Amino acid sequence: GAGVSQSPRYKVAKRGQDVALRCDPISGHVSLFWYQQALGQGPEFLTYFQNEAQLDKSGLPSDRFFAERPEGSVSTLKIQRTQQEDSAVYLCASSTPTGGNIQYFGAGTRLSVL
């Protein structure tokens, strides 16, 4: 596609529910990143994929967070047993090695946990 696509744009979950957030990167971009952005803060790194391989998950805040990219394209970020502190905007970005490591961001998913 023309840009990074994320869905849903908004998600409201009750505390304890599981949620799944989807990211469709720019076509041909092998690198895919997930970031979490709290209100008034800059994005913070969660995890990174190169094709289907998850090469860095050091930013995932707990074992309730899980990400996958099984076919090296679309990625899903799953949060189990959501907590209020999980409320944030989840941003997906993709990049290509020949592009100066420039990361292009999707519109994000705003998650609100009640």
| C-alpha–C-alpha distance, residues 18 and 29, integer Å | 28
Q: Which of 44, 81, 85, 112 binds another protein (CB under 8 A)?
A: 44
* Count of other CB atoms within 10 angstroms of residue 42: 7
Dihedral angle computed from the Cα positions of residues 55, 43, 60 and 31, in that order, rounded to the nearest 10 degrees: -20
Q: Is 100 exposed, middle or buried (0-12, 13-18, 19+ CB in 10 A)?
A: exposed
Choice between 25 and 106, CB closer to another protein = 106
Q: Which of 1, 28, 40, 70 binds another protein (CB under 8 A)?
A: 40
Sequence-distant (6+) residues with CB within 8 A of 106 are: 3, 4, 5, 6, 23, 91, 92, 93
**Which one of 20-28, 49-57, 64-72, 80-88 is the stretch in contact with another protein (CB under 8 A)?**
49-57
Q: How far is the CB of 36 from another protein (least distance, A)?
A: 11
Q: Which of 1, 14, 28, 101 binds another protein (CB under 8 A)?
A: 101
Alpha carbon 107 to its chain's center: 11
Q: Does 25 bind another protein (CB under 8 A)?
A: no
Choice between 41 and 62, CB closer to another protein = 41
Residues in contact with another protein by CB under 8 A are 31, 33, 35, 40-45, 48, 50, 55-56, 59, 91, 95-97, 100-108
